[in-house]
Chain A
Amino acid sequence: MATGNVAVGAPGAGSSAALQTPTSTKRIINDFSIQVATVNGSGSQSANLVLLKSIFGMGIPVSGKNLFPSNIAGLPTWYTIRASKQGYVARRREIELLVAMNAETAREDILSLPPGGAAIYDESQNLKQYRDDVTCYPVPFDKLTAAVCPEAKLRKLVRNMIYVGVVAQLLSMDLTQVEKAVRRQFAKKQKAADLNWGAIKAGYDFAASSLTKQDPLLLEPMHATEGKIIIDGNAAAALGAMFAGVTVVTWYPITPSSSVVESLIDFMKKHRVEPDGKASFAIVQAEDELAAVGMVLGAGWAGARSMTSTSGPGISLMAEFAGLGYFAELPGVIFDIQRVGPSTGMPTRTMQGDLLSIAYLSHGDTKHVMLLPASVNECYQFAMEAFDLTEQLQTPVFVLSDLDIGMNNWMSDPFVYPDKPLKRGKVLSKEDLDRLGGFERYKDVDGDAIPYRTLPGTNHPKAAYFTRGSGHNEKALYTERPDDYQNLMERLARKFETARSMVPAPEIVQTGKSNIGLIAYGSSDFAVRESRDQLIKEYGLETDYMRVRAFPFSSEVHAFVAAHQRVYVIEQNRDGQMLSLLKLDLPAEHVTRLRSIRYFDGLPLDARTVTDKLVLQEEI
């Protein structure tokens, strides 16, 4: 792995547990990582997806991560595929098989392989000079490509499929699965499918005839992926939004969030245009994130299910409107696909860095509801949940995904169709107003601190009220009276208490055998699950685990901390943002139980990091 143009740390520099076992000459089956090093914009994404989906098609649990630069074309990119018979999908630091397609980084890429690893590269590279402890597979890419692709301008793209064939042969992959994957990849383009399949076969045949298998890596069919899907978190969130009945969508393009709305546009055009050709939705690309969220709140005020999607810099811009949404009690869903901050940060790297700023986004006493999906399935589920919550609570709801979940492909069980009707919250109709004779917009009638609202257009002379971000009383009239203001702020605080029991509860694994608790959220979950197994296997250390799924915290969160002597909060940021939120929320006597494991280099968290840092603090 190179550390030149883009600072990527050294994800491949670790040693490989798989390769370094005393029996390293033995075959390693369905438990290793492949890394493809390419140049951004060279079209390798299709090849990598074919590889990923072929392994998936063989029934082997697999995950793929794209490590790409903030660049259109020319800078190095790495795609890592992890096959794991145990079903682990977190990032691994170790790479066993390298496909070195980028001449600029090839030297560093091969140097980062562990002893016993293997490398596929272009024959012109002579990478063997750098490593005698790595199996080298030089491939005449240009010659093979030219033979199957007469059209010169397509060769750059087709070249990538050659390595798919070479990898397939070296790892004994099931060719029928590879063909199926490539034909699905180019489902609408028969010619392209044939051309690419031809390239794969050429790579396969070359490897079969000219390379001698010397590495221990093999893929063997399993039955662990049957019925499962592969999807990225952003498309999953878009699906959730569509099935939540979203009608107004606004956005401003930003990495890594753009594909939420781009996917949604595709879905909506297919499934939300009525027989007469008219749309049951409006999607607008706004002039900036200020306008995007302003439109969302305007639409929410007028009664629509509205959303926007953004990332950290957009969240910063939305602060002003977030305060208005909280204070004037306006619904709206805001997806934040987190990336590395502060400022522009590293736009194509992942982080759990917006938790604290969103929790209290905007000036004055402001608090926001956050949902924290940890899988593509939860991106889908929580999108639906968010719309119900925002309309029920009449406050903006933020869904915090991140680049790792959002832009990478993940295996999942198929999503389940919602079995409950939409919850549209407390909205009074003309008939309600006839019966009641009027209403007070900001009065707590039901004791849950959630008031009633009416929508513009309600045909009743008492329906209208005045929405404002300035001081207002229960009747929505302007006020600067101390008691009015205090009443309002206290009710808003009570409403946040109501939210505790409405948001998704944490997911808890309690063994009953441990006084150590782990707390994580979002994409840290993948690594923590694997780390818990490592801790048992390598240190005999049982841990309990709570995955927090929302803010404000529900009562289970307090109970979990209360039930453990030491509680490690594991997260992907420098300052321990979840730790801070917990400290503010927990009773003082429990705060001292909290410990912190933080990771923030921009790459997804891996299990080894969690294990090492925990063992260090436990002084094992």
Chain B
Amino acid sequence: MATIVGNPPPAPKTNRLGLQVLDYRGGKTTLCAGCGHNAISERIVDAMYEMGVQPERLMKLSGIGCSSKTPAYFMNRAHSFNSVHGRMPSVATGALMANHTMMGLGVSGDGDTASIGFGQFAHLMRRNLPLIYIIEDNGVYGLTKGQFSATADLGSTLKTGVINDLPPIDTCVMAVELGATFVGRSFSGDKKQLLAMLKAAIAHRGTVMLDVISPCVTFNDHEGSTKSYKYVQEHEEAVNEVGFVPSFEDIAVDYDPGTTTVVEMHDGSHMRLRKLHPDYDPTSRIGAVTALMEAHQQGEVLTGVFYVDTKKPSFTDMLNLVDEPLATLPESRTRPPREVLDQIMQRHQ
């Protein structure tokens, strides 16, 4: 602690828990300068800080790849698990069953999700596990030096000139189809939209699937790439403008129900979605899938909150668990008494 000489410095800014933004920081990033992933880590810090999430109440989970290294670069006070390639969903499922009182944040990449981990991704969405699942999507494998991933667009080129000749998997279409209850796409370069979506994600209970286009400055930011900063900036098309009012901020804002959809979130917060596409309905799965498929045809990068359902029970709710974490239940509640064994033994005589 430094000795204070002269005028005391102004009190540092704190959030509703009295924590500073420093309390949400992580280690120094080892990713490339300008990597979209770093911007996403920063937004996660901002969102968690602004929402006043107790860092110790968060579990960070990831798979393998550049994206999956990032949990080391934010929120050091949260337990973190960098697991194996494409298998983060199962680890997260186990961890959240063990302790359903925690918040879960999973960070994955496009290779980790749409190729090696596609099976686990699908079943995670289907279960609606209460987890914020972020795909840091750059269309290439960075750590192995720039091969295409399964989210790369048809016709997109590598630096070497190789052209991608297979269609992309749209993880948002999949997530909507498979049962996720909050599905959106954003862009690491769009601070405002991404922050608002992350805050709404924190307020949601169920699987939040956010596909965040996050350009790879080293392997996929060139002319001909459809995941470059330039391409996304030029082709981004938002279905709605995302606004968020947390439960602890008592702000009443007038809105026009014709142009804005207000969604009351699990924790009492409100997400305001101002329509940019005239008839976009974020509560319609069919509408979401249609809009996404049309955007592909037009070469647009569709962003915004595509689908939200705040009513469907989450996976851990469906398990009807005791209120306390299973992990730390005392023996008196996990080992049945002697009489139970005696009864069972009698039945087998």
Contact = CB atoms under 8 A, between A and B. Distances in A.
Interface in B50-87: 54-57, 59, 61, 71-72, 76-84, 87
Contacts of A296: 94
B297 interface: no
Choose among A306, A415, A457, A464 the residue with the greatest number of B CB atoms under 10 Å from its CB: A457
A300 B93 CA distance: 11
Contacts of B83: 294, 298, 324, 469
A77 B123 CA distance: 37
A83 B122 CA distance: 52
Nearest to B97: A282
Contact of B101 (A231, A321, A415, A457): A457
A277 B331 CA distance: 19
B145 interface: no
A239 interface: yes
B298 interface: no
Contact of B97 (A239, A277, A290, A295): A295
B89 A282 contact: no
Contact of B99 (A243, A272, A456): A456
B322 interface: yes
Interface stretch (A200-208, A416-424, A609-617): A416-424
Contacts of B98: 247-248, 298-304, 306
A465 B79 contact: yes
A463 B56 contact: yes
B120 A294 contact: yes
Contact of A291 (B81, B120, B329): B120
Contacts of A280: 321-322, 326, 329, 333-334
B116 to A, nearest CB: 10
Given A291-B87, A294-B87, A298-B98, A278 B82 contact: no
B3 interface: no
B90 A464 contact: no
Contacts of A250: 94
B328 interface: yes
A197 B325 CA distance: 49
A280 to B, nearest CB: 5
A479 interface: no
A242 interface: yes
A300 B98 CA distance: 8
A229 B56 contact: no
B97 A284 contact: yes
A605 to B, nearest CB: 25
B97 A299 contact: yes
Interface in B322-349: 322-323, 325-329, 331, 333-336, 338, 340-342, 344-345, 348-349
Nearest to A456: B79
Nearest to A470: B82
B91 interface: yes
B123 to A, nearest CB: 4
A418 B334 CA distance: 13
Interface string B131-168: 00000000000000000000000000000000000000
23 contacts: A230-B349, A246-B334, A248-B326, A278-B322, A282-B326, A284-B93, A291-B89, A291-B90, A291-B119, A295-B93, A298-B90, A300-B94, A304-B94, A304-B98, A320-B87, A417-B338, A417-B342, A421-B331, A422-B335, A456-B99, A457-B57, A464-B76, A466-B80
Interface of A: 227-231, 239, 242-248, 250, 267, 271-272, 274, 277-282, 284, 286-288, 290-306, 320-321, 324, 414-415, 417-418, 421-422, 454-461, 463-470, 478
